[in-house]
């Protein structure tokens, strides 16, 4: 199996799991706050990665170590906090659509800072198709776009944060250290940046929430599957495919969210969702063509 095909399979598997996280998080929000879920999730992820590969990552000079620091800040702390906070101020459809702009930002940043990342006309054709697909899934035939400056700006900042994170992950891949070591170090810095916000907002979860089976299973899924496993595989996909091609797979996340919602939450597949899925797949194929 060639490296590019391996990268595509890894990226697809990663977003397949990430698409389910929205359903899992929705269940957990009944017992925990967004900040609590974030901190517990990545603490579990950090512990799982340490058990799997207990060897410590090397400490680099300030220039190289700053790559991990900023990756933790933008990819763990800022991205999830901005996205979750945006949902408190504006419609979920607004947030979903605006966060999906991340591949555009990733492409521009990669073009500016990673000279090997080239942009072709077909890339933009495919990415526009995929964006239309995302819009159809999110709005689901109800075209209500209410502008709320605070929430919408936060959603755009979340998209930018993920794009910046992908850029740092690509630079980290040049260091050629074990992916589990690099991911664990990113988690470490992300938790450090998240802790002050959690202390400020307060840890209010009832201890009984940790005894509920569905909460335990969903926290384990988010911590070990969606965090420990998927952040390692995402880093590998970026290393194999590059920032631009890998970022396009973000458009597949709404597809997986729709499918998992149908299976787990018994939601119905509408004409708009189905059409959106087809547009996203076509967009991915067109954008990935050489």
* pLDDT single digits (tens) 54-88: 888 777 788 889 999 999 999 999 988 887 777 66
**Model confidence at 93, in pLDDT bands (50, 70, 90)?**
low
**Model confidence at 95, in pLDDT bands (50, 70, 90)?**
low
Q: Tell me how far apart the alpha carbons of residues 43 and 223 are, in angstroms, rounded to a whole number.
A: 7
Q: Tell me how far apart the alpha carbons of residues 173 and 175 are, in angstroms, rounded to a whole number.
A: 5
**Predicted pLDDT at 47:** 93
Q: Tell me how far apart the alpha carbons of residues 122 and 138 are, in angstroms, rounded to a whole number.
A: 24
DSSP string, 174-243: TT---HHHHHHHHHHHHHHHHHHHHHHH-----GGGGG-HHHHHHHHIIIIIIIIIHHHHHHHHHHHH-H
**Model confidence at 149, in pLDDT bands (50, 70, 90)?**
low
Question: What average pLDDT score do residues 256-269 get?
Answer: 69
Q: Tell me how far apart the alpha carbons of residues 46 and 242 are, in angstroms, rounded to a whole number.
A: 25
Nearest of 89, 194, 219, 100 to residue 151 by alpha carbon: 89
Question: What average pLDDT score do residues 3-25 get?
Answer: 84
pTM tops 0.85: no
Q: What is the CA radius of gyration of the chain?
A: 18
**Predicted pLDDT at 259:** 73
**Model confidence at 290, in pLDDT bands (50, 70, 90)?**
low
Q: What is the dihedral of CA 283, 96, 195, 71, to 10 degrees?
A: 20
**Burial class of residue 60, CB neighbours in 10 A (0-12, 13-18, 19+):** middle
Q: Tell me how far apart the alpha carbons of residues 104 and 85 are, in angstroms, rounded to a whole number.
A: 22
């Amino acid at each position: 199996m060639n490296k590019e095909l391996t990268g595509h399979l890894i990226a697809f598997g990663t977003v397949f799991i990430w698409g389910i996280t929205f359903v899992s998080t929705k269940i957990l929000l009944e017992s925990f706050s967004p900040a609590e879920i974030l901190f517990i999730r990545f603490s579990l992820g950090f512990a799982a990665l340490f058990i799997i590969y207990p060897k410590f990552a090397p400490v680099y000079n300030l220039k190289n170590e700053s790559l991990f620091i900023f990756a933790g800040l933008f990819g763990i702390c800022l991205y999830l906090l901005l996205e979750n906070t945006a949902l408190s101020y504006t419609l979920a459809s607004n947030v979903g659509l605006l966060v999906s702009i991340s591949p555009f930002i990733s492409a521009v940043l990669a073009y500016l800072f990673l000279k090997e990342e080239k942009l072709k006309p077909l890339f933009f054709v495919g990415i526009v198709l995929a964006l239309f697909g995302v819009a159809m899934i999110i709005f689901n035939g109800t075209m209500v776009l209410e502008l709320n400056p605070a929430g919408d700006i936060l959603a755009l900042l979340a998209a930018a944060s993920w794009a910046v994170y992908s850029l740092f992950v690509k630079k980290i891949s040049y260091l050629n250290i074990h992916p589990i070591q690099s991911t664990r170090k990113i988690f470490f810095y992300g938790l450090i940046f998240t802790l002050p916000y959690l202390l400020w907002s307060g840890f209010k979860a009832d201890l009984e929430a940790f005894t509920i089976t569905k909460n335990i299973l969903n926290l384990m899924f988010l911590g070990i599957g969606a965090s420990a496993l998927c952040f390692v595989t995402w880093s590998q996909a970026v290393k194999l495919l590059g920032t631009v091609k890998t970022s396009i797979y973000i458009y597949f996340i709404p597809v997986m969210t729709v499918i998992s919602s149908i299976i787990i939450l018994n939601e119905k597949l509408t004409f708009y969702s189905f059409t959106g899925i087809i547009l996203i797949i076509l967009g991915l194929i067109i954008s990935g063509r050489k």
